[in-house]
A and B are shown apart, each in its own frame.
Chain A
Amino acid sequence: MGFLDDLKGANRDAQSERDRRRALKAWARARARGAVPSGETPAEGNGDVAAITSAPRTDRLEAVSGEAAAEQARKPEPRLKVLTSPGGIAFAVLIFLLLIWPFGLPGFNASSFLEVQNILIFAMIVMGLNLIAGYTGQLSLGQKIFVLIGGYTVGVLTTEFDSGFLGNHWIALLTAVVVGMGFGALLGLPALRVKGAYLSIVTLAFVPIFYVAFNSQILKGIFNSAQGISDIKTPVGNLARPPQRVVTFPFSDRAMTDYDYYVFVVFTFAALFFLARNLVKSRWGRGMTAVRESEIAAKSSGVRVYKVKVTAFMISAAYASLAGAMLTTLTTGQISPGAAPAVHIRDSFVYVVMMILGGTGTLAGPIVGATAVHAIRQFLIPQVQETFGLNLLNWTTTILAVLALVSVITAPSGTVGIFNERRERAKGRKRRKHPEPPQARLPEALVRPRVRTEGITGGDIVLETKEMSKIFGGLRANDKVSIAVKRGTVHSLIGPNGSGKTTFINVVTGVYVPEEGEVWFGGERIDGKPAFVTVEKGMGRTFQNLQIWRRMTVVENVMVGLHSRANAGFVANMIRTPVARREEAEIKARALGLLQFVGLEKWADVPAGALPYGPQRYLEIARALALDPIVCILDEPAAGLNPAEVRDLMGVIRRIKETGITTFVIEHHMDLVMGVSDEISVLDYGKKIAEGTPAEVQANDRVIEAYLGAEAVEHVGA
């Protein structure tokens, strides 16, 4: 049922575990002091922890407080804690000010009233764009489509169905959101099959198609082509409106005034911001960032990449539709296709400019960006025009485009982004000056890697290839390779450059489909199945060329590894249901525990990119262990490590072995391979040429020949 239940079970055993934990803590402290050489675990030798209970007794209080700290770690974040953070307070103040602004605060007049609402609505559009583009990394250049869809939905419904059910403004609004999401799916499903520039171009290409639809004669009955729809329900304004064309309160006939609707706009803005914030801080937010930074690492950590992309796209479409519906209602109560598709392309571009200027991938960015661009457009340019007599209004687009250019080139992280980076650097300085006090140890249940047992059949052999061949063109990169990995062992794969080791791993992890032979994992045949099947079954891996997410913190990296072990969906996380919050807390606690296992716990809140190289490798290992893997694949884990770090790594591998996890290591570093492996397989030119214990392999002539050349065997001998 997943690690959450395992954790609960662990709690129940707490009493009997206490001595053991205490002893482990003592050992850990001793090790930190340097009294115990690294690379050795207390269980070295006979796998028996009892051997160290003779270690000095710890203070009972500390043992208890360690337990308390763990309890604290697992407690879900209180529901409204966010409001006590500085950002939360600032936001609450902003909302408050917005609400009382019409009642006497400076700057209020009829046009600025509308301006501010425009800004809030644009901010909503950009918030949505930020989710798909800023966080998930898929640059959509056609968001205006959804704005139009939202506007047209409300327009069509409230004029066609007038006093009927569908004509009700609020129903129409809801419908607009649903329709928006529907089109988000319709457009997103094909578009997100491609990546990078192609994706952006596809989203851009949809704009003229929708323009033609809205402007067409064929659909004139619905959209009224070039003239568009007018007389859409609006709140009571300066215009005298017949009663049925006015927006009324829900479930009532009372007409809404401008201020009433304004309150609705402000609250929607706040709600959408809140929802976005919750999403970003949840496991889905981490998943989105993971997809953006490294899709392959995300895939290998159990994130379903395509699903995340499409869902984020649908959410951004919903945001834009809702905003579009409100915008149409608010302004003149009409909507039309405009002069040409270029108008909507330009508007979509402006949303992107807002996002960039404010700060891509930040929470406050959309608000700052929308405000900045609006201020430039509506205030700065007219002001400068007046003061200096320059005809700047005609240069608005140019000015914004230049800003975008400069921004992309010099400051890709935008205003808020730069601010965040400064704060991060300051934190880093503070950390270096005042290192954090050693934290209380988490209970072993959280720290210890766990091997998965459910759904596994197949007895002793946990991973196997049978006569597997992978052929590229005419080249047999893997040639009838049969390797059987025994459960619970450390099995290494070595071979000179170009011998097919990477190909082998790619076949086993589902990246490649082999042309011949079979691949079996945990009793199930997996060759030909998509990669996520093996990951979700319990295959973790690290990468030769490090694929960590540098901009997420260390603990967040590991938390992504736990992504597939939780259940609460996008919506549950956006509204922070109790289940979602509990899962989040469990994920965090477990991630911290795993960090302790690899010795990185004091770096938990540091951006992963700031870690030195060696610890980054350990981070990947912790992330792979988060899957509770049956098999953990380490792809050249020692690359770039110095000898001391290699010794440490050997110790970590041994400790992983103790938990029952099977480790499969590809390596060149012979000391490590010989020192830690139970079994070694040797590849050369795609074929397996030797297999056996380290001693056997080292003495094998064919192996010597493979590495050093035939002459080596003569010169130096076996």
Chain B
Amino acid sequence: MAKAVAVRGGGQEKTPASGAKGQKAKKSGGNVVMEVADLHVFYGAVEALKGISFEVRDGECVSIIGSNGAGKTTTLKTVTGVSELYKSVRGRITIDGQRVEAWPAHKIARLGVAHSPEGRKVFANQTVRDNLMLGAFTRKDSEVDKDIDEQYERFPILGQRKNQPAGLMSGGEQQMLAMARALMARPKVLLFDEPSMGLAPLIVKQVFEIIQQLKDEGKTILLVEQMAFQALGIADRAYVLETGAITMEGTGKDLLEDPRVKEAYLGA
């Protein structure tokens, strides 16, 4: 990918985006819901994440963009506890005030974290409704059915297919399901891992429209994406991840106009 920027490595040399204002982006939103500080993750001897730090505040939409292999999915998986590399994690991960680096995934989920994984990972042999019910697994209240109807409203296609096995749906439909499933948990923070992957442009548009909707409703979102420009268009703040290190951060708007972002993706 980008030559000079990648080689710099380390998480310390972040460049503020050179946008219209030319100053460091102001952080908006309320309390910090999720904070990651100096996170290192190793694949054996290879360092996949080289000391990254970022935070997500209540009501914000934060995006982490980067090209393939940059470490985006590793980041999300480590934060939610499903990384196979959990033994090699160093650093701090704080969710809702709790230190969760050593926690098993199901415990982290119960804190109010809903992760829509890379590749969607719907439960293919169970129906759409089953999948939604599983999304609400951690809930003990009586409004689950009401929420299911809400999802059918928000995503009409799910309503049409509610009793069909999830595995037979198209990629776009599965993405809707994954997002609805995450919403069913009534989570404190939503994590979307590359929702655009493998989807046709029209569907990607729809997906981002939904994310925008959720953002407008005040939901806290962490969006990890390869489609840089879509993601930057939506995010309040964003970070650029390159080969395991965060190299740029700023507001979505500022990064959108920064020519180095394009360089990072297509080579010069």
Contacts and interface: CB of A to CB of B under 8 A. Distances in A.
Touch between chains A and B, by CB atoms below 8 Å: yes
Interface in B127-183: 168, 170-171
A612 interface: yes
Contacts of B67: 668
Q: Which of B45, B171, B227 has its CB near the most chain A CB atoms (within 10 A)?
A: B227
Given A709-B228, A711-B233, A716-B262, A498 B199 contact: yes
A528 interface: no
Contact of A670 (B1, B171, B199, B230): B1
Interface in B225-268: 226-230, 233, 256-257, 259, 261-262, 265-267
Nearest to A644: B7
A496 B199 CA distance: 11
A712 B229 contact: yes
B198 interface: yes
Contacts of A710: 201, 229
Interface in A446-502: 473-475, 496-499
A685 interface: yes
B46 interface: yes
A682 to B, nearest CB: 12
A715 B19 CA distance: 13
B6 A670 contact: no
Contacts of B23: none
A284 to B, nearest CB: 32
A57 interface: no
Contact of A671 (B227, B229, B267): B267
A609 to B, nearest CB: 10
B266 A670 contact: yes
Contacts of B1: 669-671
A708 interface: yes
A708 B266 contact: yes
A476 B45 CA distance: 39
A334 B201 CA distance: 77
A668 B66 CA distance: 12
B198 A473 contact: no
B227 A668 contact: no
A707 B69 contact: no
Nearest to B203: A685
Interface residues of B, number: 33
A708 B227 contact: yes
Contacts of A640: 46, 69
Interface in B61-80: 67-69
Nearest to B46: A613
A401 interface: no
A671 B67 CA distance: 13
Nearest to B231: A709
Contact of A707 (B197, B200, B265): B265
B265 A711 contact: no
Contact of A643 (B3, B198, B204): B3
Interface string A96-114: 0000000000000000000
Given A643-B3, A670-B1, A670-B267, A712 B197 contact: no
A715 B229 contact: yes
B44 to A, nearest CB: 8
Contacts of B46: 613, 640
A593 to B, nearest CB: 29
Contacts of B265: 670, 707-708
A369 B45 CA distance: 36
B267 A674 contact: yes
Nearest to A711: B229
A708 to B, nearest CB: 5
A38 B51 CA distance: 31
B194 A497 contact: yes
Contacts of A711: 229-230, 233, 256
B200 A685 contact: yes
A639 interface: yes
Interface in B1-16: 1, 3, 6-7
A70 interface: no
A643 B228 contact: no
Contacts of A698: 266-267
A640 B44 CA distance: 13
A479 to B, nearest CB: 11
B170 to A, nearest CB: 6
A171 interface: no
A668 B69 contact: yes
B229 A668 contact: no
Given A497-B68, A704-B266, A709 B227 contact: yes
A497 B198 contact: yes
Contact of B168 (A473, A668, A670, A671): A473
A67 B230 CA distance: 61
Q: Which of A473, A496, A669, A716 has its CB near the most chain B CB atoms (within 10 A)?
A: A716
A146 to B, nearest CB: 40
B228 A712 contact: yes
B178 to A, nearest CB: 15
Contacts of A473: 168
A475 B203 CA distance: 14
22 contacts: A473-B168, A497-B194, A498-B198, A613-B45, A639-B69, A640-B46, A643-B7, A668-B69, A670-B265, A670-B266, A670-B267, A671-B3, A674-B267, A698-B266, A708-B228, A709-B227, A709-B230, A711-B229, A715-B262, A716-B259, A716-B261, A716-B262
Interface of B: 1, 3, 6-7, 45-46, 67-69, 168, 170-171, 194, 197-201, 204, 226-230, 233, 256-257, 259, 261-262, 265-267
**Shortest 8 CB-CB distances between A and B: which pairs?**
A498-B198, A670-B267, A711-B229, A709-B229, A716-B262, A668-B68, A712-B229, A709-B230
Interface of A: 473-475, 496-499, 612-613, 639-640, 643, 668-671, 674, 685, 698, 703-704, 707-712, 715-716
Given A498-B197, A643-B3, A704-B266, 11 more contacts: A497-B198, A613-B45, A640-B69, A643-B7, A669-B1, A670-B267, A671-B267, A711-B229, A712-B228, A712-B229, A712-B262
